[in-house]
């Protein structure tokens, strides 16, 4: 699969954030050249294998110097410029603070060998973190892989020294946003005054990247200009189609727009056969479930499927399958999946979220979605798109 299909600056879809320059310039990841774009391609393949998701979506960022790095071939530099122009790659004078800004705002995992010592005070969740970072490595077979890493807890003098180095590169250490600021910024569409801005410049392509926020200003990360508020942004929730434990496809559910999912749900619905060519799809009803999203909760309803729907619940003693009866609403917890067939499931994005822990797991009369129709499974998100 080509790199381009795995790159996105859509804050609703990205599941990992990667510093491209850090990977491309890391000799320990193989190859004889000091800078090699093939290392980044190998890392994307490693993430696809790690997640069992061939189309895994990553938010790629690089230092501007990589686009003019003479150690890359002219073809590699041109490819990076094409990604940038197409809105698939974010380019900044310095990438580290932006990587952590994204990880903090979007709750995505960071793939990096960097310890980010100069940001430990700005982001106190870094020291000792066990679940927010992955590290690329070169396996004995010469293939790049990724594995979870535990971030070090360095002595004070090391943190201070790295902060001083950072101050020489950029005036000031980035301060964390408040969670409410994340939600407010991500709930709006933004446009950059700079014509042709690849992140926020095209009127026919919504700016789905994460703006920068400095006090009361919302800025373009590329040009440093104040962005223009272009109105509310429809909230979306991402759902994955999983077959035999492997992600085969994904789709978005837009707030207040009910979405039918099944074998052949008709115009505007999600036909699972587009991703899964298997007899399992034959056991799925034409319209098996209907999903609806209100901006914070994803609802699912099995109206009348022939073979029924179940919910897979993750338990310490092992997974539990619970029938989802027709007309009954289910409240999905972390890790739960909607099972349409023994081998076919719908899974909300694997990104880390704060899920609601109170209330009944199943109810016959939840708050109704905006659109008319039956009630639906409820997934609680932490205030912004999945």
Model confidence pLDDT, tens digit, residues 85-105: 999 999 998 888 899 998 988
Q: Is residue 386 part of a domain?
A: no
Q: Is residue 307 part of a domain?
A: yes
Tell me the β-bridge partners of 49. none
Domain count, the chain: 3
Domain boundary, last residue among 160, 176, 192:
176
pLDDT band at 238 (very low <50, low <70, confident <90, very high): confident
Residues 242 and 152 in one domain: no
> What is the pTM for the complete model shown?
0.68
CB 116 within 8 A of CB 104: no
By CB atoms closer than 10 A (0-12, 13-18, 19+), residue 367 is exposed
Of 265-274, 275-284, 286-295, 363-372, least confident by mean pLDDT is 363-372
* Residue 364 confidence (pLDDT): 39
Count Cβ atoms below 10 Å from residue 30 Cβ, excluding itself.
15
Q: Is residue 49 part of a domain?
A: yes
Backbone phi, psi, residue 117, to 5°:
-60, -35
- Chain centroid to Cα 322, Å, comes to 28
Backbone phi, psi, residue 42, to 5°:
-65, -35
C-alpha span between 185 and 182 (Å, rounded): 5
Q: CATH code at 312?
A: 2.60.200.20
* Residue 165 confidence (pLDDT): 53
CB 289 within 8 A of CB 299: no
Backbone phi, psi, residue 132, to 5°:
-110, -5
Q: Is residue 267 part of a domain?
A: yes
* 205 pLDDT above the threshold of 70: no
Q: Is residue 385 part of a domain?
A: no
* Residue 203 confidence (pLDDT): 57
Residues 9 and 31 in one domain: yes
Residues 12 and 83 in one domain: yes
Helix (H, G, I), strand (E, B) or coil at 379: strand
Residues 38 and 106 in one domain: yes
Residues 277 and 361 in one domain: yes
Residues 285 and 152 in one domain: no
Q: CATH code at 83?
A: 3.40.50.11980
CB 175 within 8 A of CB 154: no
Of 51-60, 148-157, 296-305, least confident by mean pLDDT is 148-157
pLDDT tens for 353-371 read: 322 233 334 443 344 333 3
Residues 226 and 294 in one domain: no
Domain boundary, last residue among 176, 193, 225:
176
Place of tokens 């998100």: 381
Residues 190 and 84 in one domain: no
Strands 289-293, 297-301: pairing is antiparallel
Residues 220 and 242 in one domain: no
Local structure of residue 386 (DSSP, 8 states):
-
Domain boundary, last residue among 213, 233, 253:
233
- The highest-confidence range among 164-173, 204-213, 279-288, by mean pLDDT, is 279-288
Residues 170 and 182 in one domain: no
Count Cβ atoms below 10 Å from residue 238 Cβ, excluding itself.
22
Token reading at 235: 């909230």
* 232 pLDDT above the threshold of 70: yes
Stronger pLDDT, 201 or 149, i.e. the higher one: 149
Place of tokens 């954030």: 17
Token reading at 86: 């197409």
Residues 170 and 295 in one domain: no
* 71 pLDDT above the threshold of 90: yes
Token reading at 281: 């799809």
Residues 194 and 311 in one domain: no
Range of the domain at 212: 177-233
Q: Is residue 283 part of a domain?
A: yes
């Amino acid at each position: 699969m080509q790199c381009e299909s795995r790159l996105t600056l859509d804050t609703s879809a990205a599941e990992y954030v990667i510093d491209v320059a850090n990977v491309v310039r890391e000799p320990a990841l193989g190859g004889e050249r000091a800078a090699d774009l093939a290392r980044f391609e190998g890392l994307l393949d490693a993430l696809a294998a790690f997640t069992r998701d061939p189309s895994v979506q990553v938010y790629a960022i690089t230092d501007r110097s990589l686009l003019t790095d003479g150690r890359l071939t002219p073809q590699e530099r041109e490819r990076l410029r094409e990604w940038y122009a197409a809105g698939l790659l974010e380019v900044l004078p310095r990438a580290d603070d932006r990587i952590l800004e994204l990880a903090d705002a979007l709750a995505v995992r960071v793939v990096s060998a960097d310890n980010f010592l100069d940001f430990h005070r700005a982001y106190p969740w870094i020291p000792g973190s066990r679940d927010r970072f992955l590290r690329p490595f070169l396996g004995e077979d010469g293939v790049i892989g990724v594995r979870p890493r535990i971030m070090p807890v360095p002595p004070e003098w090391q943190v201070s020294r790295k902060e001083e180095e950072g101050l020489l590169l950029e005036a000031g250490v980035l301060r964390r946003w408040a969670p409410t600021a994340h939600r407010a910024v991500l709930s709006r569409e933004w446009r950059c005054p700079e014509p042709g801005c690849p992140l926020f410049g095209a009127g026919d392509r919504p700016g789905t990247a994460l703006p920068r926020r400095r006090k009361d200003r919302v800025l373009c990360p590329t040009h440093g200009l104040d962005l223009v508020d272009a109105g509310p942004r429809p909230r979306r929730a991402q759902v994955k189609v999983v077959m035999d434990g492997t992600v085969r496809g994904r789709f978005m559910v837009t707030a207040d727009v009910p979405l039918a999912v099944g074998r052949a749900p008709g115009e505007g619905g999600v036909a699972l056969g587009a991703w899964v060519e298997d007899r399992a799809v034959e056991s799925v009803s034409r319209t098996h479930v209907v999903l609806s999203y209100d901006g914070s909760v994803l609802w699912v309803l099995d109206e009348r499927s022939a073979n029924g729907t179940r919910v897979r619940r993750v338990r310490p003693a092992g997974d539990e399958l619970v029938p989802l009866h027709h007309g009954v609403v289910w409240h999905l917890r972390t890790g739960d999946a909607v099972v349409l067939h023994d081998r076919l499931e719908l899974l909300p994005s694997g990104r880390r979220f704060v899920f609601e822990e109170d209330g009944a797991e199943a109810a016959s009369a939840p708050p109704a979605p905006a659109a008319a129709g039956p009630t639906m499974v409820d997934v609680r998100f932490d205030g912004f798109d999945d």
